[in-house]
Structure 1
Amino acid sequence: MRLVVLDMAGTTVADDGLVEQAFTAAAAALGVEAGSPEFDPMLAHVRATMGESKISVFRHLFGAEEKAQRANTAFEAAYHDLVDAGHCAALPGAAEAIAELRGQGRKVVLTTGFSRATQDRILDALGWRSVADLTLCPAEAGRGRPYPDLALTALLRTGTDSVRQIAVAGDTGYDMLTGTRAGAPVVAGVLTGAHDEARLRADGATHVLGSIAELPALLG
């Protein structure tokens, strides 16, 4: 495995409910209050599609592009406020795992379903600007998860020779679908985020790990 494509929130970065809190604020900005009959099905969709590009989620929920963009703007503002307030931390062993993977001679790419602005906010909060070889968001790859674009863009941008040299790791079913659709032979689910082992395996996980800290040993 010459290239390791890692998710951020829930995989290498603790989520601790930040996505749901930011979504609650975004829904309120569009007149959907927490506890209303409309809200619960929307939150269930957000949970089911964790890992997907956030603007795609809002397009599904709110339909009209103008509403989706308003929701996305409100989501990003709320998420940024949470990060700025100190509610952002690396998962235990994540930075060490990334360093070990790179020490093994592998390229490491961090990917997300967030916008570039939100991804950069997280990287800055953690001091992670140089932790990986490359960082990618959906807008830089064409489409976000569950499409293979993020993994394949990582392959192209790092000069990796073959999809058979890619390992993908994440905490959601959409991460698993991205890996399998990209042709990666190692698609590892981790149990530190949104989805359980059954969902990860149903969407194509070849391995399920307790956390990203176990990945260097698996590949080593």
Structure 2
Amino acid sequence: MIELAVLDMAGTTIDEAGAVYRALRAAVERTGLAVADEDLQTWMGTDKREAIDALVRLGGGTPTPELVEESYAAFAAYLREAYAATPPQPLPGVEQALAELRARGIKVALTTGFSEDVAGPLLAAIGWSTGEGGNLDAVVTSDEVGRGRPAPYLIHRAMEKTGVLDVRSVLAAGDTAVDLQAGTNAGAGVVVGVLTGKVDESYLATHPHTYILASAAEIPALAETAAR
């Protein structure tokens, strides 16, 4: 049985109207470089500073530490403006799914390629939190680990925070290729792709996975899934 569900944030559990894609593109293109759609798709879901570094290189630029930090600041500012104009919302059925998982004794953790300064206000805006009275058992941001996705560390940190010992009892889910890669690299017993992000099924299906679902709202149906 699954003991811990580790879910991505933007595009998997939270609808933020594609603002992350637009913000990441804008943060890099402000330097005068072009961002190819396929490169943006590849780097979505990763730590955003790492993504900016990679996209600058792919665009033919030189990602100095100063440039990356300036671009990250522009990314965060764009997101704040976008979220103020169009407030993020939980994806349909996801809050109910999280509640059902926890009611069945399954811990729920969110992981993200955002640092805490971006993730914290986003979660606060929709009323999600950890601790007494909260609807989550843990949140892990990119600045808590040595490297973001596709490295396994976000998932392993979620296990550490929730006291789960056996990675085979972990379900990892997300809407991007690197979410699936991170779940696989972590050794998660169940790796789930969801189709509520900007990546289509044919692309997700080319990466290691156990299931592909229309939405994270369907995850409670996998609660009894045996570890592989």
Is TM > 0.5 for Structure 1 vs Structure 2? Answer: yes
The equivalent of 2:60 in structure 1 is none
Provide the rounded CA distance (Å) in 1 between the counterparts of 2:139 and 2:3: 16
Task: Work out whether 1:205 is the aligned partner of 2:209.
Answer: yes
Q: What is the 5 A alignment of 1:139-158? A: 139-158=143-162
Aligned-residue Cα RMSD (Å) equals 1.5
Return the offset for 1:205.
1.2
Return the offset for 1:44.
3.6
Q: Which amino acid aligns with 2:34?
A: F
The equivalent of 1:191 in structure 2 is 195
1:162 to 162, 166, 169: 166
Structure 2 stretches of 5 or more lacking a match? Answer: 57-62
Q: Which amino acid aligns with 2:46?
A: E
The equivalent of 1:35 in structure 2 is none
Provide the rounded CA distance (Å) in 1 between the counterparts of 2:205 and 2:54: 25
The equivalent of 1:5 in structure 2 is 6
Provide the rounded CA distance (Å) in 1 between the counterparts of 2:222 and 2:79: 33
2:137 to 114, 130, 133: 133
2:219 to 199, 203, 215: 215
The equivalent of 1:46 in structure 2 is 40
Provide the rounded CA distance (Å) in 2 between the counterparts of 1:64 and 1:137: 23
Provide the rounded CA distance (Å) in 2 between the counterparts of 1:53 and 1:111: 11
Provide the rounded CA distance (Å) in 2 between the counterparts of 1:81 and 1:170: 25
Q: Which amino acid aligns with 1:52?
A: T
Provide the rounded CA distance (Å) in 2 between the counterparts of 1:28 and 1:180: 32
Q: Which amino acid aligns with 2:187?
A: G
Q: What is the 5 A alignment of 1:71-86? A: 71-86=71-86
Counterpart contact for 1:169–1:189, Cα < 8 Å: yes
Q: Which amino acid aligns with 2:6?
A: V
Return the offset for 1:40.
3.9
**What does the per-residue CA deviation read over 1:87-116, in whole Å, with 9 as the maximum and x for residues that have no partner?**
311110111111111111011001111111
Q: Which amino acid aligns with 2:67?
A: K
Provide the rounded CA distance (Å) in 2 between the counterparts of 1:171 and 1:61: 20
1:60 to 54, 59, 82: 54
Counterpart contact for 1:80–1:121, Cα < 8 Å: no
Q: Which amino acid aligns with 2:19?
A: L
Return the offset for 1:24.
4.0
Q: What is the 5 A alignment of 1:84-103? A: 84-103=84-103
Return the offset for 1:202.
2.1
TM-score, L = length of structure 2: 0.88
Return the offset for 1:23.
2.5
Return the offset for 1:16.
2.0
Counterpart contact for 2:171–2:188, Cα < 8 Å: yes
Return the offset for 1:75.
0.1
Counterpart contact for 1:138–1:144, Cα < 8 Å: yes
Return the offset for 1:81.
1.5
The equivalent of 1:22 in structure 2 is 23
Identical pairs, percent: 40
**What does the per-residue CA deviation read over 1:179-202, in whole Å, with 9 as the maximum and x for residues that have no partner?**
111111100110111222233232
Question: How many correspondences in the alignment?
Answer: 213
TM-score, L = length of structure 1: 0.91
Q: Hey, which bits of structure 1, 4+ residues long, moved more than 4 A?
A: none
